[in-house]
Amino acid sequence: MVDFSEILKKAQSYRAEMSQFLRDMIRIPSESCQEREVVLRIKEEMEKVGFDKVVIDPMGNIEGYIGHGPHVIAMDAHIDTVGVGDRRLWTECDPYEGKEDENTIWGRGGSDQEGGMAAMVYAGKVIKDLGLEGEYTLIVTGTVQEEDCDGLCWQYIVNELKLRPEFVVSTEPTSLRIYRGHRGRMEIRVETRGVSCHGSAPERGSNAIHKMADIIQDIRSLNENDAADGTEIKGLVKMLDAKYNPLWKDAQFLGRGTITTSEIFYTSPSRCAVADSCAISLDRRMTAGETWESCLQEIRDLPAVKKWGNDVTVTMYKYERPSYTNLVYPTECYFPTWVLPEDHVVCKSLVEAYKGLFDKDPVVDKWTFSTNGVSIMGRYGIPCIGFGPGAEEQAHFPNEKTWKDHLVTCCAMYAAIPLTYCKNVDKK
């Protein structure tokens, strides 16, 4: 029997300690591939509160262990952040010093997503204090490079460390809702080739920028068009229709895919010459039923791409940036869609824990953005679910903040989930 009231009471008693720990992490700049110092600070806190084992792996991720039972459960927070951007927009606080009042903590990483780490570490303390260890081993992971390449850390954890938990709780911000999926994404590069000539007689050459302009218009059509029978370039909305997608119900839950032209590059001998190459980057968000193959082919099938034939190439980017430990773990920039069924034992267990702690029904929804779940469940089929402090709209935003009550709520949830899950899964 899980004593939810005692768990909540104990989590509330660590409100100040969690707040201080989060402030400490915020003070340490930890952009992707520069996480070493914040990892060491997390190790210090895990050891202080009594984790059974703490390991920093060769990629630089940190794994803290509690318990020795047969059911292996993981909870994950990425502990890298994006940069601060234009500091003039940080009008309420210094991004690294931040500030706090009775209810709120400001600073880069507050919501995205070092607040999740603070709550997880103190959930470990609650488990130890109340003797909640049972038929499970809990692994609390602080993962690196997520902002650069979401899920790469978990590719390493699964493939190299051979850790394959029964499920993973992502502590990305959810506004205290339970999130059971999100759209996937991929990074696509489109290149056009031309022939340079003098700008005074452009007809003598072949302008790569003009070719790309045609293609960009077709790409816009994918976002804007409907999927009617007479529409030549059918919009991405088609994947919400059973006619085009057997997974249309999941697609309707997650939302339609999108495509964004995010960067443009060119080469030319001079400003008075015709461009001989042009390239664009595309951010492609994928709903259920879409794959990297289907998304690449969708671009290759555009009328403008076919028009320019061999002068166009469509490829997927690769990621090969070294971690702070100098480990390079190459991967393609493909981050699969995932969705956990609402009737899955993991989802039911989180709903039960939430009701037991707070005496009300939770909101069950999904993220707009992408998380490490793209590898955990998207690549490897390990059930993944989200519950985290902070708000999605605070991510990457100037004057980023989170709320102290969120830390307490999440700490209680993380402490209650393992035993609740074990009770439910052992019934099956």
Q: Which residues belong to the active site?
A: 80, 146
Burial state string for 45-63 with b = 16 or more CB within 10 A and e = fewer than 16: bbeebebeebebbebbbbb
For residue 34, CA distances in Å to 88, 232, 334, 407 come to 23, 47, 23, 25
**Element of type H or E holding 159:** helix 152-159
For residue 165, CA distances in Å to 60, 128, 266, 393 come to 19, 21, 46, 29
CB 421, CB 346: distance < 8 Å: yes
Tokens of 273: 């010459």
Tokens of 10: 């104990």
Contacts of 128 (CB under 8 A, 6+ apart): 49, 50, 66
Distance CA 84, CA 82 (A): 7
By C-alpha distance, which of 255, 313, 305, 263 is closest to 285? 255
CB 149, CB 316: distance < 8 Å: no
